[in-house]
Amino acid sequence: MKWVQGITILSLGWLFFQVYIIFYPQVPLLQKPLHIAFALALAFLAFPFSGRPSGRRYGWMDWTLTLLSCVLGVYFFSEEGRILNRMSFIDDVLIRDYIGCIILTGLLLEGTRRTTGMSLVYVLAFFLLYAFLGPIFPGWLKFQGMDLSQLTEVLFLSDSGVFGIPAGVSADYIFYFILFGSLFAASGGGQLFTDLGLQVTARAKGGAAKASVISSALFGTISGSAVANVSVDGIFTIPLMKKAGYSAAEAGGIEAITSTGGQIMPPVMGAAAFIMADILGVPYFNIAKAGALPALAFYLSLFLIIDFNARRTGIGNLKPEDARIPLRVLPRLYLLAPVALLIYFIARDYSVTWAVIWTIAATVVVSMFRRETRLTPTRFLSGCLDGAKQACQVAVPIGAIGIIIGVTVQSGLAMKFSSMLMEITGGNEILTYFMIILGCIVLGMGLPTVAAYIIGAILFVPAIINMGISPLAAHMFVFYYSVLSMVTPPVAMAAYAAAGLANASVTQTGWYAFRLSLVVFLIPFVFIFDEGLLLHGPLAGILIAALTTALGIVAWAATLAGYFLGPLPFAERILFLLASLGLIAPTVAGVWVPSLIFFILLAGWRLFRRRPTKSRV
């Protein structure tokens, strides 16, 4: 029981600290270290070495690491004046600074292992070795290297490493949005999204899987975590899909890819989107606005391929008894008021932090309207504790990524990598894009999206910008494919979560989710060629981009599913493939006009072929 109390005390202490800095902001080199220290301390109790659930026996190592995390927080609090007033790379690094840096690095490695797995730990270990052994690396990787003094300066005593932009974004924004999502779910908002999805699609072809699409898209508006989305929606949608005839792996795969899309769904996108706003130096609203049409295109793609597959196979239709909703949806729609309020605040360019704080307050007030949604003290505390646990799963790897950023900046790796990439591809744009896609997916295997995005932003974005693409489109391109790494085998984190709920093979679930994800792979090429899809430019250009994207998605989904108003022969699938590629081409190239005509003719031909069949029926 004492360990549960330890988790509760740490979680509430972190919550009170985050509330305190809203009203009394601290200097960054105090605020960010304390935020990371709280996250680390909580992580070692929330994810014990034994792997047992919270509330069971913990080993001495868990408590020791928690205590060391707290000591680090005290160290930064007591050394605040000296650290702020010292001159980097001029003033001496003290012995206690060396010790602190070594302890912090070790805690981050172990905390990352517990919260996200070994994949990111291997990447971190490589960059640490690279920092010390830079002089012996071959070719363009070679640099003068860093000694312990320089590494301590960068990672521990400045805002260029662990306590850089990502840690600041975690402390200033991400914690509060995760808390909002947790409290919203505790009030019954997550269940409302699931019921809405089911009510809209209950009688449709493939209705069970379409319910997953709708509910995941809705939950994605308030949660930027694929795993959290799976956990909330999958509990209801996966058993429903299995009852409708999908295999366990198919049900898990569908839920994994639909939940993954929640990270690109405004207004609350993934943690990476907040970091993108800070890197670009633009209001978060600009990022959320730019992500709106690509997110809708993502879910339209999944909706269509599920529909085409359901019509082709006859699988996925719900029986009336399976589509019953215990509680009526209409009387619970008031729970959506906080989401509408959040959208309003962000659209009006209010402070993002204050926007989500007022939204949290609105969630608590609105929940009081009915007994079954009321956030009682017990529910409220449970929501806060769950939110703190989710937040530490984000904050710990974000702090660890600072190691990668610090070493990359000091070594000049980003610019050297960009030059190398352009040499390999010979400056060919399409080949460069595909190399970047492959890099994002491979680097993202087993990593949280925020880690995959930051690595991609460091290594790949400069190459895209050098090809004349705007920084926003370049970052969105890398962000989008980093999100898709969540369902890319062999290490697909969203598929792991979904497979557990579906009682299915992780490998089969991951591969099915990846197959479905192919339908959304072309979308970033639209906005890399035409920023109208990012709501940038004249209204006419935006409308054309939206229209051609929608039709291109229809053609691409028909190609992959082998169905459009009936099964498609191989030759017609090839024609639909050509139409889809032409529709996503740059509007300035003039290819989309003949492709549009070609698609209309194809659709007309399929409709004509279908007419005799209808008359016989």
Which residues neighbour 186 within 8 Å (Cβ) at sequence distance 6 or greater? 375, 379, 380, 382, 383, 386
C-alpha 88/C-alpha 154 separation (Å) is: 9
Same domain? For 384 and 235 the reply is yes
Q: How many domains does the chain have?
A: 3
* Contact (CB, 8 A) for 435 and 104: no
| Domain limit, last residue, from 396, 429, 464 | 396
CA-to-CA separations, 50 to 40, 61, 99, 369, in angstroms, rounded:
17, 10, 27, 42
Is residue 47 assigned to a domain?
yes
What average pLDDT score do residues 497-505 get? 85
Q: Two tokens at 301?
A: 């793609």
Same domain? For 387 and 416 the reply is no
Is residue 195 assigned to a domain?
yes
More confident residue, 252 or 427: 252
Is residue 141 assigned to a domain?
no
pLDDT digits (tens, 9 = 90+) for 99-116: 999 999 999 999 999 988
Best CA proximity match to 545, nearest among 603, 587, 595 = 587
Is residue 156 assigned to a domain?
no
| Domain limit, last residue, from 363, 396, 429 | 396
Statement: residue 332 has pLDDT above 90 = no
Same domain? For 356 and 449 the reply is no
H helices within 24-145, ranges in order? 28-46, 60-78, 80-85, 95-116, 118-133
pLDDT at residue 34, as a whole number: 96
pLDDT digits (tens, 9 = 90+) for 136-195: 988 888 889 899 999 999 999 998 889 999 999 999 999 999 999 899 989 988 888 888
**Position 17 confidence tier, pLDDT thresholds 50, 70, 90:** very high
Phi and psi, residue 351, nearest 5°:
-55, 125
Same domain? For 411 and 385 the reply is no
pLDDT digits (tens, 9 = 90+) for 367-409: 998 888 889 999 999 999 999 999 999 999 999 999 999 998 8
Is residue 137 assigned to a domain?
no
* Contact (CB, 8 A) for 473 and 531: yes
C-alpha 64/C-alpha 91 separation (Å) is: 32
Same domain? For 452 and 386 the reply is no
Which residues neighbour 260 within 8 Å (Cβ) at sequence distance 6 or greater? 226, 229, 483, 484, 486, 487, 494, 513, 517
Same domain? For 388 and 412 the reply is no
Is residue 10 assigned to a domain?
yes
Statement: residue 451 has pLDDT above 80 = yes
Is residue 157 assigned to a domain?
no
Same domain? For 384 and 442 the reply is no
- 3-class DSSP assignment, residue 282: coil
Question: Structural domain of residue 65, as residue ranges?
Answer: 2-118
pLDDT at residue 104, as a whole number: 96
Same domain? For 391 and 427 the reply is no
Same domain? For 366 and 416 the reply is no
| Domain limit, last residue, from 396, 430, 445 | 396
What are the DSSP calls for 217-230, one per residue? HHHHTT---HHHHH
* Contact (CB, 8 A) for 208 and 202: no
pLDDT digits (tens, 9 = 90+) for 201-237: 877 888 888 988 998 888 888 877 788 888 888 888 8
pLDDT at residue 55, as a whole number: 47
Is residue 126 assigned to a domain?
no
Same domain? For 176 and 220 the reply is yes
Same domain? For 198 and 297 the reply is yes
C-alpha 504/C-alpha 518 separation (Å) is: 21
What average pLDDT score do residues 603-612 get? 74
Statement: residue 322 has pLDDT above 80 = no
Same domain? For 264 and 192 the reply is yes
Mean of all residue pLDDT scores within the chain: 86
pLDDT at residue 355, as a whole number: 92
